[in-house]
């Protein structure tokens, strides 16, 4: 700590330059934060989805429905624990921007998601109340819904018999202890199936909880073979693989955006590294003087490295702070439909890690050359 | 006149010495080239996607969806309702028949070239009139499908991006097969990413009753839009939404707007970073040349001359960086075809990056802006320096 004065004088030597260097590092880290959050948005569901759940969709397309008769046959497969189903409801709450997935599901749907915690009495109320609806806690907060509220949904794919708006009663909320995704809504299958105009008795896709995740592949294969060459062939994959399929479909674009951001991040770091080594070069005589009065080579190297650390970490923190302030502007901007640009603590942690690495990379050359300085040569440069 | 001559001669001197200072000049050029390349590539992506989508729409065509639906995928219209709409006035007629067609829009999961998992490809069941309504559609290879058979034709984009969609290939649909008999182009619009078949075949494949997803029709002229709109609106129990095709597709291209905004934001952030780097470099470039500048001033060159010459130097470096960046983006990305999930249709649209003049112009404007800000402060500083003080720094 007693050498802080020397490091500080290095930083204060040219205040304008220090200021500008810190801010150019800050912009690099702002881009870094943006890139991280985009990457997270593109892969959001992939990280969290359960490995002991399979999704069975129509082989023709995931949007096509499957017959209810598939349920018993899937249940009979060795290793299958529970079979539930759902249907994509579509629909709009007030305005198109208020997008969130809505699924008609059977009563026991939530048994398959043990990581979800339902609010008190929600399960019971959902079974009892035919127009019941359970939504993610975040969703309820976002729209200011309270239990007992009546939620109107304008139909698109599934018009109601006799037309008009669907109405559901909020009976509970859920929180998810594993993922941060709590943005879906669930409505009662029985009500939906009786009140819709067509396709009655056909679920969209099945969700199959299996006893042993290691058997996922063989069970998936067995299910698909059951329905091979029938009118309703299936395609079964783990929930994880199913989500990844969507991420891959946006795929290329996510990859391109990310590599472009990475390229820009490194461009700026390259420039910054150049500035730093320039700053050390200019100071050669001073470092020589320090050596002449007895500072060790190692200490000199540490001084230069400390300066580099200071610049990088300060820049990283400012960049992340700006990102933190800026991101709310992007909120609600869904990329595809797999996630949003959101700020998270993992961004801060990875930014600081990267800042340390950057500090070492950009500081090590100047630090090394400072350490190797010959006192006489260094002083002669004056 | 002499002012301009002076500026030119000082600029000339500066530029000749650029090579000697190649290190610091390079920092400016690389910084700016990076920002411009990033911005131009992202904007080219947005431009490619949005022009592909919005090219599809024409203002003398109308698309009708179920009221409340914002995409063809979530819309359903009964065939009887199509008949009802067809008796509206304002629809152009062809040999006595109104130019109106019901179309079924669905998704079919197929595998992209080089991929393991499947992607969602749009599948459109059409009526014979659909081709008359869209004259831009041309079969470039093979032939059109025969009505009433399980034959399909494939858009050029889909053909390029997916496995097993060449002429003669068969794709499995439920318990039977459909055969590819033709490849079509359609002005590079979204239909080129689709598979087309006969409407009744599609209704069979996708288990639809006598319904379609959307209705497309050609207007007598642009102004007859209101006639159709009024007819549908006032007809009892017809819950349909009438839109000009051009408005519908503009609406669908909102994903591209997002990429555009994103590209601009990233470009500006990078530009700010490049400004800092340019400032740093120009400041030290100027401070190492203080003696030169002092000498010029002592010889009688005005401060304004020095300022102007330094600015020109900064702008030339910036322009070089901008052109380099745009060239990098052009070489890497122009014409590069990707396909992605687009808009609310849950299906894939193929498009090519388009590094257009307008996009390049935006990039170069950014470059000059960075050059100006990065140059003006150090140059101003140098021009105002006291001559004796500048000379003393030897």
> What confidence score (pLDDT) does residue B268 get?
84
Lowest mean per-residue pLDDT among A62-76, A212-226, A354-368, B20-34? B20-34
Judge: A90–B269 Cβ closer than 8 Å, yes or no: no
Tell me the C-alpha distance between A269 and B25, whole Å: 17
Reported pTM: 0.79
Tell me the C-alpha distance between B112 and B164, whole Å: 9
- In this prediction, residues A269-276 reach a mean pLDDT of 76
B113 touches chain A (CB under 8 A): no
Band of pLDDT at residue B345, cut at 50, 70 and 90:
low
> What confidence score (pLDDT) does residue A188 get?
95
> What confidence score (pLDDT) does residue B342 get?
66
Tell me the C-alpha distance between B348 and B346, whole Å: 7
- Which residues have a Cβ under 8 Å from the Cβ of B215 and sit 6 or more positions away? B63, B64, B77, B81, B82, B85, B100, B101, B102, B103, B240
Residues B136, B189 contacting (CB under 8 angstroms): yes
Higher pLDDT, residue B388 or B246: B246
Lowest mean per-residue pLDDT among A55-59, A70-74, A322-326? A322-326
- In this prediction, residues A172-185 reach a mean pLDDT of 82
Residue A341 has pLDDT above 80, yes or no: no
Please state the three-class secondary structure of B39-97 as a single string.
HHHHHHHHHHHHHHHHCCCCCCEEEEEECCCCCHHHCCEEHHHHHHHHCCCCECEECCE
Tell me the nearest-neighbour CA distance from A201 into chain B, angstroms. Answer: 14
A65 with A214, same domain: the answer is: yes
Residue B40 has pLDDT above 80, yes or no: yes
> What confidence score (pLDDT) does residue B393 get?
63
Nearest CA in chain B to A274: B27
- Which burial class, exposed, middle or buried, applies to B183 when counting CB atoms under 10 A from its CB (0-12, 13-18, 19+)? buried
A104 with A230, same domain: the answer is: yes
Nearest CA in chain A to B285: A278
Higher pLDDT, residue B282 or B335: B335
Contacts of A263 in chain B (CB under 8 A): 34, 37-38
Which among A216, A96, A92 has a CA at the least distance from the CA of A158?
Answer: A92
Write out the two tokens for A126: 């959902």
Please state the three-class secondary structure of chain B as a single string.
CHHHHHHHHHHHHHHHCCCCCHHHHHHHHHHHHHHHHHHHHHHHHHHHHHHHHHCCCCCCEEEEEECCCCCHHHCCEEHHHHHHHHCCCCECEECCEECEEEEEEEEEEEEECCCCCEEEEEEEEECHHHHHHCCCCEEEEECCCCCCCCEEEEEHHHHHHECCCCCCCEEEECCEEEEEEEEEECCCCHHHHCEEEEHHHHHHHCCCCCEECEEEEEECCHHHHHHHHHHHHHCCCCCEEEEEHHHHHHHHCHHHHHHHHHHHHHHHHHHHHHHHHHHHHHHHHHHHCHHHHHHHHHCCCCHHHHHHHHHHHHHHHHHHHHHHHHHHHHHHHCCCEEEEEEHHHCEEEEEECCCCHHHHHHHHHHHHHHHHHHHHHHHHHHHHCCHHHHHHCC
User: pLDDT digits over B243-259, tens only?
Assistant: 999 999 888 877 777 77
Judge: A274–B27 Cβ closer than 8 Å, yes or no: yes
Tell me the nearest-neighbour CA distance from B300 into chain A, angstroms. Answer: 31
The percentage of residues in chain B with a pLDDT greater than 90, rounded to a whole number, is 48
Residue A266 has pLDDT above 90, yes or no: no
Judge: A27–B279 Cβ closer than 8 Å, yes or no: no
A226 with A363, same domain: the answer is: no
> What confidence score (pLDDT) does residue B310 get?
85
Question: A-B interface: how many C-beta pairs under 8 angstroms?
Answer: 164
Tell me the nearest-neighbour CA distance from A232 into chain B, angstroms. Answer: 6
- In this prediction, residues B159-174 reach a mean pLDDT of 92
A214 with A260, same domain: the answer is: no
- In this prediction, residues B48-53 reach a mean pLDDT of 87
Band of pLDDT at residue A338, cut at 50, 70 and 90:
very low
Give the SS3 label for residue A49.
coil
A199 with A320, same domain: the answer is: no
Contacts of A244 in chain B (CB under 8 A): 117
Contacts of B265 in chain A (CB under 8 A): 34
Find where tokens 């941060």 sit.
A180
- In this prediction, residues B4-12 reach a mean pLDDT of 84
Mean pLDDT of chain A: 84
Residue A363 has pLDDT above 60, yes or no: yes
> What confidence score (pLDDT) does residue A335 get?
44
A92 with A196, same domain: the answer is: yes
Restricting to B residues 325-384, those with a Cβ less than 8 Å away from any Cβ of A are: 338-341, 346, 348
**Final residue in a domain of this structure, among A246, A275, A295:** A246
A333 with A309, same domain: the answer is: yes
**Final residue in a domain of this structure, among A221, A246, A271:** A246
Contacts of A268 in chain B (CB under 8 A): 31, 34, 270, 273-274, 277
Residue A308 has pLDDT above 80, yes or no: yes
Tell me the C-alpha distance between B117 and A241, whole Å: 9
Number of domains in chain A: 2
Q: Apex CA B101: angle with CA B98 and CA B103, to 5°?
A: 175
- In this prediction, residues A229-238 reach a mean pLDDT of 92
In eight-state DSSP terms, residue A269 is H
Band of pLDDT at residue B203, cut at 50, 70 and 90:
very high
**Final residue in a domain of this structure, among A208, A229, A246:** A246
Looking only at the bridges linking them, the beta strands covering B100-111 and B214-218 are: antiparallel
Judge: A60–B205 Cβ closer than 8 Å, yes or no: yes
Higher pLDDT, residue B331 or A350: B331
A268 with A142, same domain: the answer is: no
Which of B66, B106, B175 is closest, CB to CB, to A61? B106
Contacts of B258 in chain A (CB under 8 A): 333, 335
User: pLDDT digits over B98-143, tens only?
Assistant: 999 999 999 999 998 888 888 889 999 999 999 999 999 999 999 9
- In this prediction, residues A202-224 reach a mean pLDDT of 93
Residue B350 has pLDDT above 70, yes or no: yes
Restricting to B residues 246-305, those with a Cβ less than 8 Å away from any Cβ of A are: 255, 258-259, 262, 265-266, 269-270, 272-274, 276-277, 279-281, 283-284
Band of pLDDT at residue A13, cut at 50, 70 and 90:
confident
A238 with A317, same domain: the answer is: no
Nearest CA in chain A to B29: A271
Lowest mean per-residue pLDDT among A29-38, A303-312, B158-167? A29-38
> What confidence score (pLDDT) does residue B217 get?
96
A242 with A306, same domain: the answer is: no
Locate the domains of chain B by residue range.
Answer: 2-54+254-392, 68-238
Band of pLDDT at residue A40, cut at 50, 70 and 90:
low
Query: What is the predicted ipTM?
Result: 0.74
Write out the two tokens for A293: 């009065």
Which among A70, A75, A18 has a CA at the least distance from the CA of A282?
Answer: A18
> What confidence score (pLDDT) does residue A334 get?
47
Range of the domain at A354: 4-45+251-380
Residues A359, A313 contacting (CB under 8 angstroms): yes
In eight-state DSSP terms, residue A179 is -
Which residue in A243, A271, A314, A335 has the most chain B C-beta atoms within 10 A of its own C-beta, making it the best mutation to test that interface? A271
Judge: B174–A60 Cβ closer than 8 Å, yes or no: yes
What's chain B's length in residues?
A: 394
User: pLDDT digits over B61-85, tens only?
Assistant: 999 999 888 889 889 999 999 999 9
Q: Which residues pair with B198 in a beta bridge?
A: B126
Tell me the nearest-neighbour CA distance from A221 into chain B, angstroms. Answer: 15
- In this prediction, residues A91-99 reach a mean pLDDT of 85
A106 with A175, same domain: the answer is: yes
Band of pLDDT at residue B343, cut at 50, 70 and 90:
low
Band of pLDDT at residue A79, cut at 50, 70 and 90:
very high
> What confidence score (pLDDT) does residue A337 get?
40
Looking only at the bridges linking them, the beta strands covering A205-210 and A80-86 are: antiparallel
Tell me the nearest-neighbour CA distance from B1 into chain A, angstroms. Answer: 37
Band of pLDDT at residue A221, cut at 50, 70 and 90:
very high
A198 with A258, same domain: the answer is: no
Residue A17 sits at φ, ψ, to 5 deg, of -65, -45
- Which residues have a Cβ under 8 Å from the Cβ of B174 and sit 6 or more positions away? A60, A231, A232, A233, B205
Judge: B270–A27 Cβ closer than 8 Å, yes or no: yes
Restricting to B residues 13-42, those with a Cβ less than 8 Å away from any Cβ of A are: 23, 27, 30-31, 34-35, 37-38, 41-42
Contacts of A275 in chain B (CB under 8 A): 27, 277, 280-281
Nearest CA in chain B to A257: B42
B119 touches chain A (CB under 8 A): yes
Mean pLDDT of chain B: 88
B160 touches chain A (CB under 8 A): no
B95 touches chain A (CB under 8 A): no
């Amino acid at each position: 700590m007693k050498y802080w004065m020397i490091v500080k004088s290095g930083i204060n030597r040219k205040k304008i330059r220090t200021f500008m260097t810190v801010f150019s590092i800050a912009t690099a880290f702002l881009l870094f934060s943006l890139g991280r959050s985009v990457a997270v948005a593109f892969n959001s569901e992939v990280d969290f989805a359960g490995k002991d759940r399979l999704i069975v969709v129509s082989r023709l397309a995931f949007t096509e429905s499957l017959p209810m008769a598939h349920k018993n046959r899937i249940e009979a497969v060795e290793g299958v624990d529970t079979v539930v189903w759902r249907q994509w409801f579509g629909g709009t709450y007030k305005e198109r921007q208020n997008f969130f997935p809505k699924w008609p599901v059977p009563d026991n749907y939530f048994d398959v998601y043990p990581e979800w915690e339902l609010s008190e009495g929600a399960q019971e109320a959902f079974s009892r109340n035919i127009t019941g609806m359970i939504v993610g806690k975040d969703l309820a907060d976002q729209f200011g819904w309270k239990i007992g509220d009546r939620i109107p949904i304008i139909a698109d794919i599934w018009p109601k018999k006799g037309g008009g708006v669907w109405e559901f009663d909020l009976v509970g909320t859920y929180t998810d202890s594993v993922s941060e995704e709590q943005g879906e809504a669930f409505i009662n299958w029985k009500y939906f199936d009786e009140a819709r105009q067509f396709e009655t008795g056909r679920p969209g896709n099945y969700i199959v909880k299996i006893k042993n995740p290691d058997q996922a592949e063989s069970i998936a294969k067995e299910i698909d073979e059951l329905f091979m060459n029938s009118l309703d062939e299936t395609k079964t994959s783990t929930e994880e693989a199913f989500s990844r399929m969507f991420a891959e479909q946006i795929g290329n674009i996510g990859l391109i955006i990310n590599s472009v951001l990475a390229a820009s991040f490194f461009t700026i770091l390259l420039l910054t590294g150049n500035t730093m080594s320039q700053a050390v070069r200019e100071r050669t005589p001073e470092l020589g003087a320090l050596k002449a009065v007895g500072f060790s080579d190692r200490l000199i190297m540490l001084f230069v490295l400390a300066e580099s650390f200071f610049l990088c970490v300060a820049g990283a923190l400012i960049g992340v702070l700006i990102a933190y302030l800026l991101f709310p502007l992007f909120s609600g901007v869904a990329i595809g439909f797999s996630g949003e640009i959101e700020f998270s603590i993992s961004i801060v942690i990875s930014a600081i890690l990267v800042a340390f690495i950057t500090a070492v990379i950009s500081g090590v050359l100047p630090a090394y050359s400072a350490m190797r300085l010959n006192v006489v040569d260094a002083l002669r440069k004056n | 006149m002499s002012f301009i001559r002076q500026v030119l001669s000082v600029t000339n001197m500066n530029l000749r010495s650029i090579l000697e200072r190649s290190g610091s000049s390079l920092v400016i050029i690389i910084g700016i080239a990076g920002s411009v390349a990033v911005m131009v590539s992202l904007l080219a992506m947005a431009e490619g996607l949005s022009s592909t989508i919005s090219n599809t729409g024409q203002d003398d065509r109308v698309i009708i969806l179920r009221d409340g639906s914002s995409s063809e995928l979530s819309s359903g219209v009964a065939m009887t309702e199509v008949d009802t709409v067809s008796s509206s006035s304002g629809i152009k007629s062809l040999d006595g028949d109104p130019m109106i067609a019901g179309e079924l829009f669905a998704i079919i999961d197929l595998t992209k070239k080089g991929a393991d998992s499947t992607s969602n490809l749009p599948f459109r069941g059409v009526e014979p009139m659909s081709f008359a309504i869209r004259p831009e559609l041309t079969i470039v290879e093979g032939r059109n499908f025969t009505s009433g058979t399980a034959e399909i034709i494939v858009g050029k984009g889909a053909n390029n991006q997916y496995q097993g969609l060449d002429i003669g290939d068969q794709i499995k649909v439920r318990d039977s097969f459909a055969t590819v008999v033709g490849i079509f182009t359609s002005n590079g619009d979204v239909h080129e990413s689709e598979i087309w078949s006969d409407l009744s075949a599609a209704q069979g494949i996708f288990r639809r009753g006598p319904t379609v997803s959307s209705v497309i029709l050609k207007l007598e002229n642009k102004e007859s839009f209101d006639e159709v709109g009024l007819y549908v609106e006032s007809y009892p129990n017809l819950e349909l939404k009438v839109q000009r095709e051009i408005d519908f597709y503009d609406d669908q291209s909102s994903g591209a707007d997002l990429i555009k905004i994103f590209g601009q934001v990233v470009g500006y952030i990078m530009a700010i970073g490049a400004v800092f780097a340019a400032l740093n470099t120009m400041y030290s470039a100027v401070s190492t040349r203080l003696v030169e500048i002092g000498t010029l001033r002592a010889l009688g060159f005005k401060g304004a001359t020095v300022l102007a010459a330094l600015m020109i130097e900064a702008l030339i470096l910036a322009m070089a960086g901008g052109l380099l960046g745009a060239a990098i983006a052009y070489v890497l990305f122009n014409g590069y075809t990707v396909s992605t999930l687009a808009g609310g249709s849950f299906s894939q649209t193929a498009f090519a990056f388009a590094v257009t003049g307008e996009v390049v112009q935006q990039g170069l404007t950014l470059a000059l802006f960075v050059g100006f800000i990065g140059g003006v402060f150090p140059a101003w500083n140098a021009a105002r320096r006291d001559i004796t003080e500048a000379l003393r720094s030897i």
